[in-house]
Structure 1
Amino acid sequence: MVEYKVTVSTTNIATATTFSNVFIKLVGTDGESDRTWLLSLKGVASFFRGAVSSFTVSCPASLGKLVLIELDKQRLPFIPEDSWFPAKVEVKSPEGETYHFPIYRWITDNEVHRFREGTALKVFDDNHHLGQYSREQELNQRAQDYVWDVYAEGIPHIIKAESPSSLPSEVRFSFTKSTEFAYTAKASLTELNLKGLDDCTERWDDLDTINRVFCCKRTAISEYVQQHWKEDALFAYQFLNGVNPMLIRRCTVLPRNFPVTDDMVCLHGQGSLGDEMKKGNIFLCDYKNFDGLKANTINGKKQYLMAPLILLHKTPEHKLMPIAIQLKQTPADDNPIFLPTDSEYDWLIAKIFVRSTDFNEHQLNVHLLRTHLLAEVFAVSLLRNLPMVHPLYKLLVPHTRYTLQINLLARIRLISESGVFTQFTSSGGEAMATILKRSLASVTYSSLCIPDDITERGLQNVPNFYYRDDGLQLWDIINRFVKGVLSYYYKTDAEVQKDSELQKWILDIFEHGFLSQPDKGIPQRFTTVAELIKFVTMVIFTCSAQHSAVNTGQYDYGGWMPNTPTSLQLPPPTTKGTTDETRMLQTLPDVNATVQGMASLWLLSKPSSDFVALGQYPEEHFSEEVPRKLIKDFQGELGVLSAAIKIRNQSLEIPYTCMDPAEFENSVAI
């Protein structure tokens, strides 16, 4: 007889404990053990949360190289069925070799579950018939568990699920996350001391009243915004380092529909518009995707949603300042070009309309579509096409954590017919689907890759652009990590080409995420290792750093509503000189729309207590030494960058923390 020492670790999270009897079978290249009941002196405590328990499995002879294990649990009489979350199983063979079996899955039934030995294997390297069989069975089950669905025509596809409980257990929130996220928008109203205002359909009387509401919950940045929101410098700064740094681009030729002339603008003695454009000092923001849309109706009142164009100038002092705003796309006598030299409220109302459109552009395109919905596509395709033993699954699965449930909740609570976004924002009505469809049509592969995107928008030399500075460094760090891991597993381009599971993964993304549109530049298949490395870098960057860049600061910049109105309920002025403070207040959203927006932004900006920062991998999916060392190196580089960002921020009037890797998660988890 030979003996195998089996060590079972149960994850230290709430509800991970099982009181059931647990059984194991070891399967090797030369045979398999009997199904063995795991008993120890700990008794029922062997599989409590956080427990690490050892057992002995005896066999008549050596099983050879271990390929997989089979686990099942059988409930005791009179004890209800429970859920068990084992972390990993380690098996020490009689020959002295230790085998690692990563689990990290909920076992909720009494069926047999197979788990592969932790060494990553591509499909063409998986030569043992039992390994091939378990791989095939796993993917067949996943194809049943993760089914594509169409939410609306023309936007990325989603997972088919009606409620969080209908999601597979391994992708649901933890008990801790579920408990904390039990806050709905109404619960956030209570936390913000806004309860009772959510039903008030009146307009705001004055800014002091808004301030008294806003005082209930502030951040350092939101307080700064409240004090400086009227200033041109902060207005322009937000195009670079606010929650939507994705629209601004260098302007080399004025759009024909934006007839700004030299005698209109003040360029601080720097010559003509043409001269400044040649020097790279003129920038444009164009919200053309909003042209012709029908705005929502809120509290029975028609709302207004513009499609503005904004021209900005980099001054000799290296500040970005707005120099012209046109609120509609088509030039006309009743569509004036607003200028900083206009009256205070003419210029301020023009900026308010821009900020309101930017809120809607940010929420639907930059935030929902380009991070949440794409992250869901990456996750569903991964779970459908790559088994746990695949190296890319091991690399990417931490970056899918909670994404499917958070997106499902967003569809239920935010953008459904009764959702907060639908009810209280100007784009929440029939315009929403059109904006999403137009936005996807404008997404290109290069726009998802920050080095390419910054170059294409001509923003390499813009000063004080911290989204770019931090984002490019993060991209490089992630890229080095991904290159190290994938180059270890894929030695040649030919290996990439013949990995059928990998090719199905990218084809699923192309078809269901980008709706088979070849002009986007999204690959349909991978032909080289370099192509694979770049795409996987983009996936990790999108799910972590990019999501943080467009999510973390939402309450900072939107908590003070006049800076970021969710909707506007009077049309823009058609002539100058007709706007005063009263008309501005009448244009801003009603009290209930304001507080619902504040509550939602507060909720969406709150990290969970089971937050997992970028590069931290509490689930050990890799067992080989090389990827484990690469993870440590990755963590070290992220730590150095985080420290540098913190030092830089000490000297900034407005600290930029959105892309500090210590402050955001591996995945789209909020």
Structure 2
Amino acid sequence: MFGILNKGQKIKGTVVLMPKNVLDFNAITSIGKGGVLDAAGNLIGGLTSIVGGVVDTATAFLGRNVSMQLISATKTDASGKGLVGKETFLNKHLPQLPTLGARQDAFSINFEWDTDFGIPGAFYIRNYTQAEFFLVSVTLEDIPNRETVQFVCNSWVYNFKNYKKDRIFFTNDTYLPSQTPASLLHYRAEELDNLRGDGTGERKEWERIYDYDIYNDLGNPDGGDKFVRPVLGGSSTYPYPRRVRSGRKPTRKDPKSEKPGVIYVPRDENFGHLKSSDFLIYGLKSLSQDVLPLFQAVIFDLNFTPNEFDSFDEVRGLFEGGIKLPTDILSKISPLPALKEILRTDGEQVLKFPPPHVIQVSKSAWMTDEEFGREMVAGVNPCVIRLLQEFPPKSTLDTIVYGDQSSTITKEHLEVNLGGLTVEEALNGNRLFILDYHDAFMPYLERINLTAKAYATRTILFLKDDGTLKPVAIELSLPHSNGVQYGAESKVFLPSDVGEESTIWLLAKAHVIVNDSCYHQLISHWLNTHATIEPFIIATNRHLSVLHPINKLLYPHYRDTININGLARQALINADGIIEQTFLPGPNSVEISSAVYKNWVFTDQALPADLIKRGLAIEDSSSPHGLRLVIQDYPYAVDGLEIWDAIKTWVQEYASLYYPTDEAVQKDTELQTWWKEAVEKGHGDLKDKPWWPKMQTLQDLVQSCSIIIWTASALHAAVNFGQYPYGGYILNRPTLSRRFIPEKGTPEYDEMVKSPQKAYLRTITPKYQTLVDLSVIEILSRHASDEVYLGERDSKFWTSDSRAVQAFQKFGSKLTEIEGKIIERNKDSSLKNRYGPIQLPYNLLLRSSEEGLTFRGIPNSISI
């Protein structure tokens, strides 16, 4: 591998990297060429650069500490592999390089070159220091016949002895497998083989191996029955998408479950503290590990504040006056840097939250029926409502197991609020809609109601002449008192704005929203974006080389997702984690999402297909996007369809550059293996479903990639970044229900008559769980300062193909145009669903955003 080049002309290189502890400038200790690291990372033999090992972060990489070897893309050795050049070391620090980003260091390196070597297409790199560093990019200049070669690296590089094969990086050129220069074929295949690993052993921190596993790490059977959870994935009973494999040892009581411990994340998926978005992620960690116990102490152990709100004003006090904290508790929260922005104390002895958007203009508009209906099409969960096409609504639950679960809503219930129309006329005119959570919750209610008081809900809404939705009936159902096999016992509630009936109606709406909040978090958000995307990320890294055009297309839409999903398994959706503590289904939470996944359909994740399936759009070639919306003023759909079309147009133009025919798709070996594994392993429990695209045509590829990009960007933005703006006011989006609708003659009914607000507050989420909810969803609703939004890239050198760059610029311009159109629509007073009684314009699908809690912005990926 050494001595290939003769001394002569030099290739000038610039290497940009970031040290591991760049934020606090911790020292880096260098290992001489004779040194090795033991299992604990201690130096054995060799020489340190500086006595004591304390060195400046810039000079730590000079000397014989970091080396590179160029690999030719045009010249081969006797075995057919690209020629490998002489090992060369970084030789000079470039502190004044004007293009450097924050916390980056640049170094020069000069390679010997002659005409026998050709044009570089890759390089090996070795790190001889004890600490890893983050390699940002490498630029080679003055190359004959090429001038400049760019390498976009964005990868952690550990000490070379941690790797079986030297770390390799490729240029930003793009090649299908069949078009790869012969000299790079071996290296391309070898790198993919490294990323796949062998599927055995426990993964280590420095590894970049992508492999599949089931969700067998949410519980801890060894911790007692309280922590036992079913294994999700690998069975027809509990199907689930796959996650990245950690390979930890099994628990003692259940060999199918994995022991708790460090969650493995492939190293390049976890940037450490190099990105500000990590402060949000580590904020969640601090929250679960440090702050929640303090909240518990304040409320339960110290009895410093009761766990019940006594008035709506007290809830608003969380934003206006805050909660006073004991000095010792405050002193424990204040030093936590990841939480300083989120848990504001303002130098006072109080815990204060920012006012949610839903009450920034009006304190009571959230209570109106109009706002209740508007949030079904312009809230944080706008993708569940569907057209009512049969009456009364029916259940799909197995009658042998669950008996008769048919709705008890009658025509008489509805027609008093249909403006003179009959039910038949309203159905025929596409005026009736349903928010139906009956079948999702009924199978679990007997378990849920051991600790809660909840219903399975159906809500019928009427489309008024002004385009708004009015709830006209709510059905609350419980399992039959003799057992769920005997069907349901249901009550129907109708709108009222006077007396006790108005309070009962408000309570009925609260029970609906509890269903909606939980379905939103577990299905619309976690399952349909986070969980279903992870298998595609794994398959992409295992089978699509960084040189592959589809890897370059999808890569930005995967950033941070495996990282945040790993954290979710550790602190959010795990047994007795934050979701189980604060959301209605408790220990049944993720199991419910498994039941819904049984009916998940990949092709239905395309927005047009989703709208058609829910009866909210009709195919119409004369209408924009080829669809006619049933609800014309449906902000999520109107804005979303424009973004969907922009994404699909971009993918079509990009993919067509590399696949001129369907045959080219069929003959792409990496592409075919990628898709086969994503389906058969990543989503293996659904692999036999007939709806999977066959990946035999260009349109199969375009549709599949468009769905992945849409899901990771716009869909996730729509269901995530409105969580605090709408749900930060717990009265508007409660997550728990603790009382049934009170019956006349009971103490609860008398309390409701005497104090409607207290009755409402005793029904929904109490104070401790509210504090947890608000803390979590505020973090989840924030944008990092270094977020990369749809239509943007974190490097302008992501590809050397100018045609692709031009198509991408066109995509960005189109998104800017769409953003302007959304802003104009939000100014149209005739579109009442865009603004609503709370006077909050629908901004969730505006693609750009500033840092923070903005209620807008579409990041490229599921990064929080």
Could you tell me the TM-score, scaled by structure 1's length?
0.91
Counterpart of 1:10, as a letter, is: V
Report the CA distance between 1:320 and its aligned residue: 0.6
Q: Which residue of 2 aligns with 1:552?
A: 721
Mapped partners of 2:188, 2:706: distance in 1: 26
Structure 2 CA distance for partners of 1:114 and 1:420, relative to 1, 3 Å? same
CA distance in 2, matches of 1:33, 1:123: 21
Superposition pairs of residues 136-175 of structure 1, within 5 angstroms: 136-144=189-197, 145-151=209-215, 152-153=232-233, 154-161=239-246, 166-175=264-273
* Residues 472-505 of structure 1: per-residue CA shift (max 9 Å, x gap): 0011111111111111011111111122221222
Within 5 Å, give how 1:316-465 maps onto structure 2.
316-328=465-477, 335-341=490-496, 343-429=501-587, 431-459=588-616, 460-465=629-634
Aligned match of 1:654:
840
SS in 1 for 2:470: strand
Task: Supply the AA of the counterpart residue of 1:184.
Answer: L
Inter-partner Cα distance in structure 2 for 1:334 and 1:341: 23
Aligned pairs for 1:554-633 (under 5 A) are 554-573=723-742, 578=749, 580=753, 581=756, 582-619=758-795, 620-633=797-810
Kindly indicate whether the alpha-carbon contact (under 8 Å) linking 2:263 and 2:566 is maintained by their aligned counterparts in 1.
no
The amino acid across from 2:143 in the alignment is S
Distance 1:648 1:642, change over 3 A: same
Report the Cα distance in structure 2 between the residues aligned to 1:333 and 1:604, rounded to whole angstroms: 36
Partner of 2:49: none
- Tell whether 2:648 aligns with 1:479: yes
Establish whether residue 204 from structure 1 lines up as the match of residue 341 from structure 2. no
Structure 2 equivalent of residue 277 of structure 1: 427
Q: CA RMSD in A?
A: 3.0
CA distance in 2 between counterparts of 1:475 and 1:519 reads: 27
Q: Give the 3-state SS of the residue equivalent to 1:263 in structure 2.
A: helix
Could you say if the C-alpha distance between residues 74 and 211 of structure 1 is closer, same or farther in structure 2, counting changes exceeding 3 Å?
same
Q: Tell me if the contact between 2:210 and 2:541 (Cα under 8 Å) persists in the aligned partners.
A: yes
Residue by residue, what CA displacement relative to the aligned partner does 1:158-202 show, whole Å, maximum 9, x if unpaired? 1123767732221103413334433237749979x9896554673
Of 6, 9, 22, which residue of structure 1 is paired with 2:66? 22
The match for 1:35 is 86
Contact 1:335 1:575 in 2 (8 A): no
Deviation at 1:446, TM superposition (A): 3.6
Please list every run of 5 or more consecutive structure 2 residues that lacks an aligned counterpart in the other structure: 1-6, 23-56, 77-82, 198-208, 216-231, 234-238, 247-259, 321-351, 395-405, 481-486, 617-628, 829-834, 849-856
1:181 corresponding residue in structure 2: 281
2:372 equivalent to 1:235? yes
1:135 pairs with 2:167: no
Q: Distance in 2 between matches of 1:379 and 1:401?
A: 9
* Matched residue SS, 2:459: strand
Structure with max Cα Rg: 2
1:396 aligned counterpart, secondary structure: helix
Query: Per the alignment, do residues 571 and 221 of structure 1 end up closer, same or farther by CA in structure 2, a change over 3 Å counting?
Result: closer
Cα deviation digits, residues 41-69 of structure 1 (max 9, x gap): 53799999544555432234332243322
What residue is the counterpart of 1:667 in the other structure? 861
Structure 2 counterpart SS, 1:362: helix
Query: Distance in 2 between the 1:70 and 1:198 partners?
Result: 57
AA aligned to 1:248 is I
Which is further off, 479-488 or 641-650? 641-650
Displacement after TM superposition at 1:6 (Å) = 3.1
Cα distance in structure 2, aligned partners of 1:87 and 1:418: 42
2:11 counterpart of 1:5: yes
How far off is 1:576 after superposition?
Answer: 11
Letter in 1 for 2:315: I
Task: Flag the 1:126–1:334 CA change in 2: closer, same or farther, 3 A.
Answer: closer
Aligned residues: 661
Residues 109, 168 of structure 1: CA spacing in aligned structure 2 closer, same or farther, 3 A cutoff?
A: farther
2:664 aligned with 1:488, yes or no? no
* SS state at 1:562 partner: coil
Q: Which amino acid aligns with 1:351?
A: K
Using the alignment, how far apart are the partners of 1:203 and 1:492 within structure 2? Answer: 65
Separation in structure 1 between the aligned mates of residue 647 and residue 613 of structure 2, nearest angstrom: 21
Going from structure 1 to structure 2, the CA distance change for 1:530 and 1:569 (only over 3 Å counts) comes to: same
2:10, 2:111 within 8 Å by CA — same for their partners in 1? yes
The counterpart of 2:143, out of the listed 88, 93, 103, is 93
Deviation at 1:608, TM superposition (A): 1.5
Moved over 6 A (4+): 43-48, 162-165, 188-191, 193-196, 295-298, 329-333, 574-577
8 A Cα contact 1:5 1:54, kept in partner? no
Deviation at 1:107, TM superposition (A): 1.3
Q: What displacement does 1:601 show?
A: 1.2
Cα 1:224–1:440 change in 2 (3 A) is: farther
2:527 corresponds to which letter in structure 1?
L
Q: 1:30 to 1:505 in 2, by over 3 A?
A: closer
Equivalent-residue separation in structure 2 for 1:333 and 1:508 (angstroms): 42
In the superposition, relative to structure 1, how do residues 456 and 270 fare at CA in structure 2: closer, same or farther (>3 Å)?
A: farther
Scaled by the length of structure 2, the TM-score of the pair is 0.71
Distance (Å, rounded) in 1 between the aligned partners of 2:530 and 2:367: 31
Amino acid at match of 1:167: V
